[in-house]
Chains A and B, each alone.
Chain A
Amino acid sequence: MSKTTQITELSVNGQSHQIEADADTPLLYILRNDLELNGPKFGCGLGECGACTVLIDGVAARSCVLPLRSVAGHDITTLEGLGSSASPGRVQQAFIDQQAAQCGYCLNGMIMTIQALLNRNPHPTEQQIRQELKYNLCRCGTHVEIMAAARQAAQSEQ
């Protein structure tokens, strides 16, 4: 089957975009290269590490393995959609307060995954947070701070 570029309408952070690309292009490439949203990171490219996590219809998704064609018509939220450096979102603020970063490469995934959990369950237990973050990898070892940030985000009321 021959591959062709086509125009796809994509809704990202509440804004609509016309994307001209091959329908098989991973969503992550579109977000970073076309829309210049560099919150989501390229880690393993295989959906394993979670650095590329975004929200689709409020649910966590690994954008490096999702082709463009499967996300048209959905609401996509990236880290930029949660808040800005001037006014960070609730989860982002918690990560700042707890100084949860060392290299910081995994933090996009950690923040987005916690956000997805809070969308589903506003008051998660410690065990539920651990479960949720189980497949987000951090190689620096700031797990203690990340857990503290997650707890803070879960406790702070909107």
Chain B
Amino acid sequence: MTVPAPSSRPSSIETDKQNLAPPSAARLLHGVVLRPDQLLWDGRHYTGPAPVEVHADGARHVPGVVAIVIRQSFIGVVASQPGQAQHAKSQIHVQWSRPVTDTPKSLPGAPVTQSARSYQYQTDTQAASWAIALFDEATLKVWCRTTQPESLRHEISALLSLTPEQIQILPNGQYPTESYDAAVDAALLCIHATGRAVKVAQPAHPATLIRITVDGDKNSLTEKLSQYPARRPSVAALLCGFTHTSPATAVQNNDAYGTPIRLTFENPTTPISTYPSEQVGAAQIFARESFFDETCKAQKLDPVQARLNQLTHDLTGRNLIESVASRAQWNNRPSKAGTGQGFAYGHVIDNEQDPPQQIWSAWIAEVSVDKEGLVDITRLTVGHSTEELNSRQATPEIESSLRQFAQGLLKPPDSFDQWGNDKEKPDFQVARPNIDIVPQQNENAISTHIAWNEKARWPAAAAIANAIHDATGVRLRDTPFDSRQLQQALAQKPTPPAYKKWTYGLLGGIAATAAGLVVSAMPWRSAIAPVAVDTRIYSEEAINRGRLVAIAGDCMVCHTAEDGLENTGGRALETPFGVVYSTNITPDPETGIGSWSYEAFERAMREGIHRDGRHLYPVFPYTAFAKISDTDMQSLYAYLMTQPAVKHTPPKTELTFPYNARPLMAGWNTLFHENARFEPDPTKTTLWNRGAYLVQGAGHCAACHTPRNALGAEKSGEKNYLAGGFADGWEAPPLNELSKAPIAWTEASLYDYLRTGFSSLHGVASGPMAPVVEGLAQLPESDVRAIAHYLSSLNPGSSESEPAALTAAKLEEISRNNSAVMTMPGESLFEGACAVCHDAREGPPLFGSRPSLALNTNLHSDHPDNVIQVMMHGIADPTQLGLGDMPGFKDSLNNQQMKDLLEYMRARFAPEKAPWQGLDEKIETIRNQTVR
């Protein structure tokens, strides 16, 4: 099958207004697709792994599943709810064929000769998007966002054997994220659910690297690419076996070099790029123009003059370069240390337009680089000419988009102290560069609308790289341009010996720590005078950032009573020393923290001292909060102070002697509290440090998950860190290598659990962990990923290579056929109370999940506490998956029955573990526990 070339016939115009809106959310079905782990193609066909065997029976039995669609290598699930579709997807077991690697793997990008140079271009990240498709026998409607509606229409019509007239492509209002792939996925799925609309969400796609190796001599240039430069059909169409024939957007700099350019590929099969695949064109221009500049510098030629000498036939190109060079004063540029200018040129034929359009662009970038390697773009002169005059844009808009694009090519030093997509980079400021747009001939006015094509941005990267080289003599061949890499390269060049700032900084650090110790050992601390706080000074960004810090810190979990108003305090926290009530942290001046200055707030957060000088009990985890960075602490203050003030006095904490003697806490602090901000580990990645910062600081995970000593302090030592503890009568299981989970937690399963509250290989979040998951759901995805990444590094897991799904199946099988337990007294209780939902042996499929007890972490733990808690009180489903709640059996099972059940479940589902001891007391204690 081939995809026919799109015709230029205009789209049929929809007149019925009602049909234009996508169906309401309540009526939608949800589709998810199961992709092979490697998406490869050879420029025409899909060549990645293909399914040899698909076992989808497990998925068919998941409630809410409407259809399972398998077509060649395309596998998808349609279900009533997104969570059900995801759950079903995880139940499909596919054995993939390994793709045929017909050539020995050449070293990627290994230069063939000495003159060869490799360049890496980082594509843009792609935001998450979605598409909806609805088939009603006669027409197929697709709501999506694409720049290629005609290609999409033809692709779908060829895939589904419909005429193009039967397909309507409607906008989904998501500008500018492409959802071409999701649109075809949705179309393929919706024909299996006639009359119901199917929504497919396409996850955000991180940036990927395109590698290009350029080599050449006098007669020819060779370009070796890591990805095909063709605009591809949808991933779904390729997976269904389609052959691609459309032409690529051609990069036409050939005449600019005076020699033909030959394209080769690192491998006959290359990864299928994210959409839009045209970014390969941008990568090609970056590689060619950098290489050209390198060649010119080696031969001591002026790159602009050399280019003009080559372009004998192309008058448009010549004129453009000449006017840009004169506007940027290329020939009389000053040669100041640390500044430089770079030139790059692009000539592109855009085959996606009908008829194809030519675009010329010439860039001169001016940069200054400081000693630390920080690059500042000071001026951009951008010349641009296009045959396409239809899409006109206002100059200021183009200027700001160019500024953003150019600055996006710079990579400031990474920091652990950035929230999600927070663009705020505190120690890195780029001044707004001046932008000159050189208009086309017969377009002479600035600040009016001019013809513009986005592909005119492509030479930007090479122009900046060439300018950085001009300024520093350092050649950067990878985008984005990394200031750390530049700094290292600059440091290797001979320079005068650096000032011994490092030693000084270290000494200062030691002094500060010593002073901190002395101060916190004082048994009585002075009050900080109440102040009237002016909250108008806080920016929207600071307040929003503070909100994220508060969520990560779970402030509202402890500071909100059952049925109380948020942050007004009064929640009872059971500690081994008595019940502590949380306080009102709304900005009410009398009963809350309204009259606390930032100084007082920070002292409380880092040292555990009330504004009035009283010591706070460490059930308030200031031991962790001390690690919070200054920017985050200030943002948190800004957030809390701008929330509604509520007058409310929660119950007073009254512990018995000696714990009521708060000054004694000073001694405790000397022994157990170190007031120090988080220090990133320079040997680890930013992601790891970010995770560590969140876990150790605001997230205060150790407060529950690290064992405590007799004085209620977290035990020190590496072995004890996150080694499991108790909180509120629940066990907080070990997160390090002491984990008792039958299947080792991985980064992926930790992410699932923290993001959704459920991991199909481990169980569901309940007890005090439930509100934590609720909070995490509001954090940026990247932060949850960082936490999962860091935590998984603490628990290297088993080195066995057995796939988790296979281990899971074995454990289930054992629990099903364990005949030894069938004579235990718990068997009939289990049959009556639990089996309808939890027995994998038999019984009807019920709506909701059937949580596997054989894989449950709690049943494999050394402590029965969490199982008893769940049996007594049930689980109010904290997940977003709608898996159903579990009722509590406190009032229907007596202690003996509970014990029989516990012994039975332990023997049946965790047969390799020793029986639990002391169940009678445990059951009695948890039953009588008043605080929950």
Residues on A facing B (Cβ under 8 Å): 1-3, 9, 11, 24, 44-48, 50, 56-57, 59-62, 64-67, 69-74, 113, 116-117, 120, 131-132, 134-135
Chain A interface mostly: loop
Check A57–B80 contact: CB distance below 8 A. yes
In the complex with contacts A2-B564, A46-B833, A50-B836, A131-B884 CB distance below 8 A: no
Q: Which among B701-709, B742-750, B837-845 touches the partner chain?
A: B837-845
Residues of B within 8 A of A2 (CB): 560, 562-566
Cα of A57 to Cα of B81 in the assembled complex, Å: 11
Q: List 7 A-B contacts (CB under 8 A).
A: A1-B771, A46-B889, A48-B833, A61-B847, A64-B887, A67-B885, A134-B843
Interface size on B, residues (CB 8 A): 35
Residues of B within 8 A of A116 (CB): 844
Taking A47-B887, A117-B844 as known contacts, 12 extra A-B pairs with beta carbons closer than 8 A to each other, sorted by chain A number, are A2-B565, A3-B563, A11-B26, A46-B892, A56-B63, A57-B80, A61-B848, A67-B876, A74-B847, A113-B844, A134-B843, A134-B844
Cα of A44 to Cα of B889 in the assembled complex, Å: 11
Residue from the list A9, A70, A73, A134 in contact with B885, Cβ < 8 A = A70
Closest to B835 in A: A135
Residue from the list B832, B842, B846, B876 in contact with A131, Cβ < 8 A = B842
In the complex with contacts A45-B887, A47-B836, A47-B837, A73-B80 CB distance below 8 A: yes
- Min Cβ gap B438→A in Å is 55
Check A66–B848 contact: CB distance below 8 A. yes
Chain B interface mostly: loop
Cα of A78 to Cα of B436 in the assembled complex, Å: 70
Residue from the list B832, B846, B882, B885 in contact with A48, Cβ < 8 A = B832
Check A135–B26 contact: CB distance below 8 A. no
Check A73–B26 contact: CB distance below 8 A. yes
Closest to A10 in B: B26
Chain B contacts with A in 861-915, Cβ cutoff 8 A: 876-877, 882-887, 889, 892
Residues of A within 8 A of B383 (CB): none
Residues of A within 8 A of B565 (CB): 2
Cα of A62 to Cα of B63 in the assembled complex, Å: 13
Cα of A67 to Cα of B836 in the assembled complex, Å: 18
Cα of A24 to Cα of B882 in the assembled complex, Å: 12
Cα of A60 to Cα of B883 in the assembled complex, Å: 14
Check B64–A1 contact: CB distance below 8 A. no
Closest to B28 in A: A73
Cα of A35 to Cα of B884 in the assembled complex, Å: 22
Check A65–B886 contact: CB distance below 8 A. yes
Residue from the list B80, B562, B832, B884 in contact with A65, Cβ < 8 A = B884
Check B81–A65 contact: CB distance below 8 A. no
Check A135–B843 contact: CB distance below 8 A. yes
Cα of A2 to Cα of B560 in the assembled complex, Å: 8
Cα of A46 to Cα of B832 in the assembled complex, Å: 10
Residues of A within 8 A of B771 (CB): 1
Cα of A131 to Cα of B843 in the assembled complex, Å: 6
In the complex with contacts A9-B26, A65-B884, A135-B847 CB distance below 8 A: no
Check A74–B80 contact: CB distance below 8 A. yes
Interface string of B81-114 (1 = CB under 8 A from A): 1000000000000000000000000000000000
- Min Cβ gap A16→B in Å is 9
Closest to A63 in B: B847
Cα of A48 to Cα of B846 in the assembled complex, Å: 12
Residues on B facing A (Cβ under 8 Å): 25-26, 63-64, 80-81, 560, 562-566, 771, 832-833, 835-837, 842-848, 876-877, 882-887, 889, 892
Residues of B within 8 A of A59 (CB): 63-64, 845-847
Cα of A47 to Cα of B833 in the assembled complex, Å: 8
Residue from the list B81, B848, B884 in contact with A73, Cβ < 8 A = B81
Cα of A81 to Cα of B877 in the assembled complex, Å: 28
Cα of A48 to Cα of B839 in the assembled complex, Å: 13
Specify which of B63, B844, B846, B882 lies most central, judged by the most chain A CB atoms within 10 Å of its CB: B844
- A-B CB proximity, top 3 nearest: A61-B847, A135-B836, A56-B847
Check A70–B844 contact: CB distance below 8 A. no
In the complex with contacts A24-B876, A47-B837, A135-B836, A60-B887 CB distance below 8 A: no
Residues of B within 8 A of A60 (CB): 844-847
Cα of A76 to Cα of B845 in the assembled complex, Å: 16
Check B836–A70 contact: CB distance below 8 A. no
Check B884–A66 contact: CB distance below 8 A. yes
Check B844–A135 contact: CB distance below 8 A. yes
Cα of A140 to Cα of B832 in the assembled complex, Å: 17
Cα of A55 to Cα of B272 in the assembled complex, Å: 43
Check A46–B887 contact: CB distance below 8 A. yes
Cα of A113 to Cα of B25 in the assembled complex, Å: 29
Residues of B within 8 A of A65 (CB): 884-887
- Min Cβ gap B847→A in Å is 4
Residue from the list A64, A73, A132 in contact with B844, Cβ < 8 A = A132
Cα of A3 to Cα of B564 in the assembled complex, Å: 9
Closest to B883 in A: A70
Cα of A66 to Cα of B837 in the assembled complex, Å: 12
Residues of A within 8 A of B842 (CB): 131, 134
Cα of A127 to Cα of B848 in the assembled complex, Å: 24
Residues of A within 8 A of B564 (CB): 2
Closest to A44 in B: B892
- Min Cβ gap B849→A in Å is 11
- Min Cβ gap A34→B in Å is 19
Cα of A31 to Cα of B837 in the assembled complex, Å: 22
Check A57–B832 contact: CB distance below 8 A. no
- Min Cβ gap B317→A in Å is 58
Closest to B565 in A: A2
Cα of A135 to Cα of B838 in the assembled complex, Å: 12
Residues of B within 8 A of A64 (CB): 887
- Min Cβ gap B322→A in Å is 63
Specify which of A1, A45, A62, A66 lies most central, judged by the most chain B CB atoms within 10 Å of its CB: A1
Cα of A3 to Cα of B843 in the assembled complex, Å: 35
- Min Cβ gap A14→B in Å is 13
Cα of A48 to Cα of B887 in the assembled complex, Å: 10
Check B889–A66 contact: CB distance below 8 A. no
